Amino acid sequence: MPLIVDEVVITVEVTNAAAGGASPASGGGGGSTEDKQALISECVEQVMELLRQREER
């Protein structure tokens, strides 16, 4: 039996690391800005692919 997802929920927590110290999402690794941008780009690509697949149905 096929499973159909009618809704996708995306939750994002935005913090200002410069004002309050270490960001809880960094896990103490302190990744570079380029690493963070690459991660964001990959997430956006995956979401866009899911939306394209949803449109094809």
Task: Kindly list the domain boundaries of the chain, sorted by start residue.
Answer: 31-57
> Measured between alpha carbons, how far is 51 from 57 in angstroms, rounded to an integer?
10
pLDDT of residue 43: 92
pLDDT of residue 27: 52
pLDDT of residue 46: 92
Give 1-57 as a DSSP string.
----------------HHHHSS-GGGTT----HHHHHHHHHHHHHHHHHHHHHHHH-
pTM over 0.85: no
Mean pLDDT score, 36-44:
90
